[in-house]
Structure 1
Amino acid sequence: MAQSAPYKICFVPKSREEEEEDSKIYKRYREIIAKLPTTEGWSGTLYQYQGFWYDSELTSGGPLAVQDHFKPKPSDILIASTPKCGSTWLRSLAFAVMNRESHPPSDQQHPLLLFNSHHLVPVIEASLYNDYVNDNRIPNLDILPSPTLFSTHMPYTSLPQSVTHSETTRIVYICRNTKDTLVSWWHFANKFRLNISLEPLQLEDAFEMFCKGMLSCCPFWDHVLGYWKESLARPQNVLFLKYEEMVAEPALHLKSLAEFMGYPFSSMEEREGVIDQIIKLCSFQNLSNLPVNKTGTSYPGVSNSFFFGRGKVGDSANFLTPEMIEQLDHITEQKLHGSGLTL
């Protein structure tokens, strides 16, 4: 029998008056959403909100509710990214780092062996403030242990002031090579479409959507630049990571991640191989073969297995045409020009 996600404890019983108030809040959000610009997306209608496109997270009120109600505690940490940039891996690494005292990476009952990282590090707009998933209920985050790890795909410019104006809340952002992000997203989209009996999405169509920025939480380049610029302005609050660099030198970047989070590895832990144990625990080979990630689900209609793609750096070269590669490289160079960021 599947275990309930640990974060679900924040949905405590409410009085009838409180439930009615929550329902009114989401009704107001749906009225706002109904007036937003729309376009056809890869699995239905996309809605444009504050310069970015959203699908089901927005239609379920998630981002709007986050902006109004999400108030992290000072010690909480937020994992951010666009979809398909390695966030499942990063969430797992961050959870293992933060909880290694109570759950050593060698623990045979480690939470990461029993739960998908979406259940351990909830996506705030999709898991916590999503009225479709949680029946019009606003969560009580005070019940969650402190500190808590959260995650998001929302752009920096749409995060609530409780995060962007905080001097203590830390954000870890991960980005990925533009071409690999597109191909990973395309694979994910077709797994989902197959699951709901839709025809596969042609790569040419996915490419056009991506270039036009008409995917959930996109335009991609605007999303990345928002967090990049903030990491330069507030390096003590925003850590900017690149997926390719983490794959190349996981131990080096895991140490940097732990230090930024406030959980540095001791010299004894390094000698005892704790860093390597966490890397092994959170590896694609290990997590993708767990029963919970082969057959379990984190969202309605989305198997946990969908979150484990090939994950190979440069794999896009096996799918994109030379013309596609050239066009994406040109767009990326134009969008990032003068920022100091290269992808």
Structure 2
Amino acid sequence: MDEKDIPRNLREEEEEEEENLSEETKSSISSLPWEIDYLGNKLFKYQGYWYYEDILQAIPNFHKSFQPQETDIIVAAFPKSGTTWLKALTFALIQRSKHPLEEDNHPLLSHNPHEIVPYLELDLYLKSSKPDLTKFLSSSLSPRLFSTHMSLDALKAPLKESSCKIVYVCRNVKDVLVSLWHFLNANKGVEWGDFSQSEKISGVDDHSFEAMFESFCNGVTLYGPFEDHALSYWQGSLEDPKHVLFMMYEEFKAEPRTQVKRLAEFLDCPFTKEEEDSGSVDKILELCSLSNLSSLEINKTGTLDGVDFKTYFRKGQVGDWKSYMTPEMVNKIDMIIEEKLKGSGLKF
């Protein structure tokens, strides 16, 4: 049903209900512990993780309204851990029967991966408590595909007893920090978090790498602490390997063919012998490669919510942190990670 077909009084009732829920959520958020982050925004701690106020309003919306379907696929990652790459690969894999890799009008050639695979909390439930998901197809041949930066802990409530698939990509925290620093400095005009100027620290021209480093070490960063975020998915993959796949960015870079085949197997769309013989694995890797995606016109000139698509593509290198961190920094963050991951079996 189109919005114009909904009776006016019903629309007004829904809008009033949504406004009341928003005010109720805002009231509960105000009682949460908070800190000022390196961008000058308030971060609120909710169920062990840090969020901006607008994202915190989206999470209850997601918990209350999202109805998972058996074939759903959710791509998850901590920010700047390879999300764009994983979105592209996952879409290309599950849609290859509908969108052959050889076609000139493949969606990835004309759309940024973030346009194709929406974030649950940033694109859908941030804008509405009950977003219209009817435009997303759902079948074994064309499953719904979403993404998130939320931890697995935050996903568990609506996904309880669901058979949907979750793919998580994890990256060395030091490279995550460097990538995030570059990304934020490339988007200094973008407002992160929905706050008034009176609640922001003004006069900041460049984001301090040292300040970001300290926040990461303290765990006070959007969606952090990083270690808890990674551990939630690591433990989920050990407990339920059929529905949670934990992938390392560094392994993807070192063995792309092996890892993309592993991803296809998990998503129940393995490559046939004929596909492998015809080079389909390499074609998907080439289509979704950083060099190819960054060279496309849409990713050179396009924008989404004020963010230039070109800023999603930088080096994508493993070990780039070596050019930015002092030995003291490396030692400090390595000790924190080692302590947090002790006994888990997860290593970087």
Taking structure 1 as the reference length, what is the TM-score of the superposition?
A: 0.90
CA contact (8 A) 1:244 1:313 kept: yes
**Which residue is 2:46 aligned to?**
49
Deviations 1:280-334 (A, max 9, x none): 01010111122222222222x2222222222100010011111111111111111
Equivalent position amino acid for 1:98 in 2: I
Relative to structure 1, the CA distance from residue 340 to residue 290 in structure 2 (aligned partners, 3 Å threshold; closer, same or farther) is same
Map of 1:161-172 to 2, 5 A cutoff? 161-166=157-162, 168-172=163-167
Task: Measure the CA separation in 1 of the matches of 2:204 and 2:237.
Answer: 40
From 75, 79, 82, give the equivalent of 1:83.
79
Relative to structure 1, the CA distance from residue 178 to residue 209 in structure 2 (aligned partners, 3 Å threshold; closer, same or farther) is same
**Which residue is 1:339 aligned to?**
344
Note the C-alpha offset of 1:206. Answer: 1.0
Aligned residues: 327
**Which residue is 1:7 aligned to?**
none
Relative to structure 1, the CA distance from residue 123 to residue 233 in structure 2 (aligned partners, 3 Å threshold; closer, same or farther) is same
Note the C-alpha offset of 1:76. Answer: 0.4
From 119, 123, 129, give the equivalent of 1:127.
123
Aligned-partner SS, 2:223: coil
**Which residue is 1:290 aligned to?**
296
Task: Measure the CA separation in 1 of the matches of 2:24 and 2:298.
Answer: 36
Aligned-partner SS, 1:102: coil
Aligned-partner SS, 1:193: coil
Relative to structure 1, the CA distance from residue 57 to residue 185 in structure 2 (aligned partners, 3 Å threshold; closer, same or farther) is farther
**Which residue is 2:196 aligned to?**
none
**Which residue is 1:306 aligned to?**
311
Equivalent position amino acid for 1:329 in 2: D
CA contact (8 A) 2:68 2:164 kept: yes
Note the C-alpha offset of 1:160. Answer: 4.3
**Which residue is 2:329 aligned to?**
324
CA contact (8 A) 2:119 2:146 kept: yes
Equivalent position amino acid for 2:130 in 1: I
Relative to structure 1, the CA distance from residue 100 to residue 314 in structure 2 (aligned partners, 3 Å threshold; closer, same or farther) is same
CA contact (8 A) 2:29 2:53 kept: no
Task: Measure the CA separation in 2 of the matches of 1:11 and 1:201.
Answer: 44
Note the C-alpha offset of 1:145. Answer: 0.2
Deviations 1:244-284 (A, max 9, x none): 00011111111110110111111101111111111001010
**Which residue is 1:107 aligned to?**
103
CA contact (8 A) 2:38 2:208 kept: no
CA contact (8 A) 1:250 1:279 kept: yes
**Which residue is 2:137 aligned to?**
145
Relative to structure 1, the CA distance from residue 184 to residue 23 in structure 2 (aligned partners, 3 Å threshold; closer, same or farther) is same
Task: Measure the CA separation in 2 of the matches of 1:56 and 1:79.
Answer: 23
Task: Measure the CA separation in 2 of the matches of 1:171 and 1:209.
Answer: 28
CA contact (8 A) 1:103 1:110 kept: yes
Between 1:199-208 and 1:91-100, the stretch displaced more is: 199-208
Aligned-partner SS, 1:75: coil
* Runs of 4 or more above 3 Å deviation: 10-15, 194-198
Task: Measure the CA separation in 2 of the matches of 1:164 and 1:42.
Answer: 35
CA contact (8 A) 1:11 1:140 kept: no
Measured on the aligned residues, the alpha-carbon RMSD in Å equals 1.9
Equivalent position amino acid for 2:52 in 1: D
CA contact (8 A) 1:11 1:137 kept: no
Which protein shows a greater Rg?
2
Given the alignment of the two structures, is residue 58 of structure 1 paired with residue 64 of structure 2, yes or no?
A: no
CA contact (8 A) 2:58 2:129 kept: no
Task: Measure the CA separation in 2 of the matches of 1:236 and 1:137.
Answer: 30
Aligned-partner SS, 2:188: helix
> In percent, how many aligned pairs have the same letter?
43
Aligned-partner SS, 1:288: helix
Relative to structure 1, the CA distance from residue 36 to residue 71 in structure 2 (aligned partners, 3 Å threshold; closer, same or farther) is same
* Structure 1, unaligned runs of 5 or more: 1-9
Note the C-alpha offset of 1:238. Answer: 0.4
